[in-house]
Structure 1
Amino acid sequence: MYSKTPSGPGDNSNTKSFFAGKAMETSAATPTSPSHPPAASPSPSASSLRLWRSAAHRNVRNQWSHIHAAKEQWLSAAFDGRSHTSNLVNAHLSRRGMPAMDLGVLKDMPGIRDKASSKLARREEQYRDMLVSSYKNMVHALCCLVKASRSMRCFSKVSPNNSVAQFSERQDDLNDSGDGGGAPVFKWFSIIEFESFAQELVEMFVSDLKLKRLLVLELLSVTFKEGVEHQTLLDWGDELYDGESNELQSIGLESGGTCPLPENWCDDISGSRRPGNPPSYEVLQVYLTAWLANVNINNSRIDEIFELVEEEMKIKFS
């Protein structure tokens, strides 16, 4: 956990690290967008369209149910992370201020400050682990959301020995784009429109996950035990838990991915994270506020998207 990216002779960390410095540059590309969706297939016959639509109904409903569940899981993990972040910051500030703290009648007890500092350090370690666990749950939820957003198409299954039409999420026939020729799945929205709604959700959660990952990196770095924090600073390319890089790469967040932050943040963060220069109380409060606000999540737009989808399907997800 919190592993440093290994490097060896000839290793170029700027290009090989999982989240290299380039990941902080702004770019017009969207890392989670599918590479290139299949071109629209020719309009199917009426009978073929009926069979496709029946299968597409089930699949689209299932995938949007998965999207809703993943959204709820992400928000729940973010809420838990807020609590762990607040507890971590409070314990860290208390430990950092212990040498100058007025202990009243306890001030003359032998070793009281050292004992209190040691207890606060153990609490910090517990809250760090809990924060990483919440972040890990957020990544897992985002992986589920992205997978569902990419699994709405319903392809004809090539089965020459079976006269019954079958469908799957995998494209067997290169001439079949899985979108029913652009026909509405239910009443109004085509597969592409459902995908567009889902992609809008994905982009929100990807943006906020990147910001929260930056906050986790900073909070883990500044709350290491005394004697360690001046030697160890986590970088953007380090894994926060075992397997994180594989999970994020599976949804397109790999080296060279973009981060929706101002370009000058690279220099600002590097300067503020120099060893021996811990963030002030005010800065830590800003971190807490940024986590609490879910600044890249537009809740009203999320509600609107689900209302549109539920109305189209005539179902309720919750």
Structure 2
Amino acid sequence: METSAATPTSPSHPPAASPSPSPSSLRLWRSAAHRNVRNQWSHIHAAKEQWLSAAFDGRSHTSNLVNAHLSRRGMPAMDLGVLKDMPGIRDKASSKLARREEQYQDMLVSSYKNMVHALCCLVKASRSMRCFSKVSPNNSVAQFSERQDDLNDSGDGGGAPVFKWFSIIEFESFAQELVEMFVSDLKLKRLLVLELLSVTFKEGVEHQTLLDWGDELYDGESNELQSIGLESGGTCPLPENWCDDISGSRRPGNPPSYEVLQVYLTAWLANVNINNSRIDEIFELVEEEMKIKFS
């Protein structure tokens, strides 16, 4: 393992470290910080597993949806063999495939919803590692909280290591690296879900409804995204380098081709923005620092 890979990248504008506490205060802070940081990383690990599970389910639903859609689209020209002369066979088969498409669309949205929920849990834990002195009338017993009562207390123990080497800022940096991966992949998968929901088939007629990026994919999505800072105004920001390609390819009456659908499927399967080796490395470093195993 390269040394550079083991060193967390500090945030661009890290909060200023609070003044170094006295040795006795530091011991009390570190004891509370041990518990809190362990708990938050346990939550991060659980959220990561929930994300990967939801993405795996979404992969299955995406594959089934694409296959059902392509089968229905190809039904008029499909060779049905001895069944070709059966009255209404193509219409009946198309209707059944259309119902399957709707089912798979609902299941895909459900998986995406679970991914958003997992990301919300991950982001919340990544922002809850600091341990602040709790201001109370009775100062005889030191107490700590995740909420900042004293503006002069940064909750990081003056930049001291929590366990052996890593400070709060370094733990936060590791967590932020994970957050950025999953946020990036969520945006890509959201775009894929949007595209796969754009073509519907009802009452024997294909309709293409181009959903806008700002449309909710399920009730409450905007609130969940906003809770972790992924909303700006009424929309989840779309990566700038995707805008021109999307506006040029998404036209009414021009459903995605077989090749494009295969690209969508491959993009979902690959988890292209998730660096699994780096994720494993981060958790190995954190586990080694804490002397625990999350799984």
Query: In 2, are the aligned partners of 1:26 and 1:258 still within 8 Å (CA)?
Result: no
Within the candidate set 279, 282, 285, 1:305 is matched to 282
1:75, 1:295 → 2: CA distance?
13
C-alpha distance in structure 1 between counterparts of 2:91 and 2:2, whole Å: 43
Mark the CA change 1:227 to 1:158 in structure 2 (over 3 Å): closer, same or farther: farther
Q: How far did residue 268 of structure 1 move?
A: 2.4
- Quote how far apart the aligned CAs of 1:102 are: 1.1
Q: Give secondary structure in 1 for the equivalent of 2:62.
A: helix
1:133 to 110, 127, 138: 110
Q: 1:129 to 1:51 in 2, by over 3 A?
A: same
Structure 2: how far apart are the matches of 1:216 and 1:32?
A: 32
Query: Does structure 2 retain, via aligned residues, the 8 Å contact 1:139–1:248?
Result: yes
Q: Which one has more relative contact order, counting CA pairs under 8 Å at least 6 apart?
A: 1
Shift in Å at residue 190 of structure 1? 0.3
Q: Which runs of 4+ in 1 moved over 6 A?
A: 24-36, 256-262
User: Which region of structure 1 is more displaced relative to structure 2, 54-63 or 223-232?
Assistant: 223-232
1:114–1:244: structure 2 CA closer, same or farther, 3 Å change rule?
same
Deviation at 1:143, TM superposition (A): 0.1
CA contact (8 A) 1:207 1:259 kept: no
Shift in alpha-carbon separation, 1:262–1:53, aligned structure 2, 3 A: closer
Give 1:269 shift.
1.8
* 8 Å Cα contact 2:208/2:253 also seen in 1: no
> Closer, same or farther in 2 for the Cα pair 1:259/1:158, shift >3 Å?
closer
**How far did 1:271 drift?**
2.7
Q: 1:232 to 1:165 in 2, by over 3 A?
A: same
- C-alpha deviation, 1:225, in angstroms: 3.7
Aligned 8 A contact 1:26 1:262 in 2:
no
How many residue pairs get aligned? The number is 295
Please state whether the residue corresponding to 1:224 is helix, strand or coil: strand
How far apart, CA to CA, are the structure 1 residues paired with 2:2 and 2:202?
A: 32
CA distance in 1 between counterparts of 2:179 and 2:279 reads: 11
Distance 1:28 1:220, change over 3 A: farther
Percent of pairs identical after alignment? 99
Note closer, same or farther for the CA distance 1:25–1:48 as it changes in structure 2 (3 Å cut): closer
Equivalent position to 1:168, from 145, 150, 154: 145
Distance 1:42 1:224, change over 3 A: farther
Deviations 1:181-218 (A, max 9, x none): 00000000000000000000000000000000000000
Seen in structure 2, the aligned counterparts of structure 1 residues 27 and 300 have a Cα distance that, compared at 3 Å, is: closer
Alpha-carbon distance in structure 2 between the residues aligned to 1:148 and 1:80 = 24
Q: Within 5 Å, give how 1:237-252 maps onto structure 2.
A: 237-252=214-229
Cα displacement (A) at 1:256 = 6.9
Distance across 2 between alignment mates of 1:216 and 1:103: 31
| CA displacement 1:245-265 (0-9 Å, x = unmatched) | 010011111127999987453
1:295 aligns with 272
Taking only aligned residues, the RMSD between alpha carbons, in angstroms, comes to: 5.0
The runs of 5 or more residues in structure 2 that have no matched partner are none
Specify whether residues 235 and 257 from structure 1 end up closer, same or farther in structure 2 by C-alpha distance, changes over 3 A only.
closer
| In structure 2, distance between residues paired with 1:233 and 1:30 | 44
Q: Contact 1:32–1:202 at 8 Å: present in 2 too?
A: no
SS in structure 2 at match of 1:152: coil
Distance in 2, matches of 1:250 and 1:196, equals: 20
**Structure 1 residues without counterparts, runs of 5 or longer:** 1-23
Question: Residues 31 and 257 of structure 1 are in contact (CA less than 8 Å); yes or no, is this contact kept in structure 2?
Answer: no
Please point out which of 238, 242, 250 is paired with 1:273.
Answer: 250
TM-score by length of 2: 0.92
Task: Determine if contact 1:187/1:312 at 8 Å carries over to the other structure.
Answer: yes
Provide the C-alpha distance between the structure 1 equivalents of 2:227 and 2:12, rounded to a whole number of angstroms.
13
Counterpart of 2:79?
A: 102
Q: Does the CA-based 8 Å contact 2:8-2:174 persist in structure 1?
A: no
Corresponding residue SS for 2:206: coil
Question: What displacement does 1:34 show?
Answer: 9.4
| TM-fit CA distance, 1:232 | 1.8
Q: Report the Cα distance in structure 2 between the residues aligned to 1:257 and 1:141, rounded to whole angstroms.
A: 22
